[in-house]
Amino acid sequence: MGSVYKPPDSVVVNRIQRAFPSDELRERARATNLIQRERKLDVVALFYTLSLGF
């Protein structure tokens, strides 16, 4: 059987970051009142944890 191609982790991370830019995630969090000020909670980390951490 042939092996399945697996791209390097850096390629996967790069594609995810291009699909969901950090600045845009922060803007949307402010626009939807998810956050009013940034402190200990990082919205980008929260997004990646909830959406990709399953």
- The reported pLDDT for the residue numbered 18 is 94
**Is the confidence at residue 48, as pLDDT, over 80?**
yes
pLDDT tens digits for range 4-45: 888 888 888 899 899 999 999 989 988 998 877 767 888 898
| CA atoms of 37 and 47, how far apart (whole Å) | 16
pLDDT score of 1: 61
Burial of 31 (0-12, 13-18, 19+ CB in 10 A): exposed
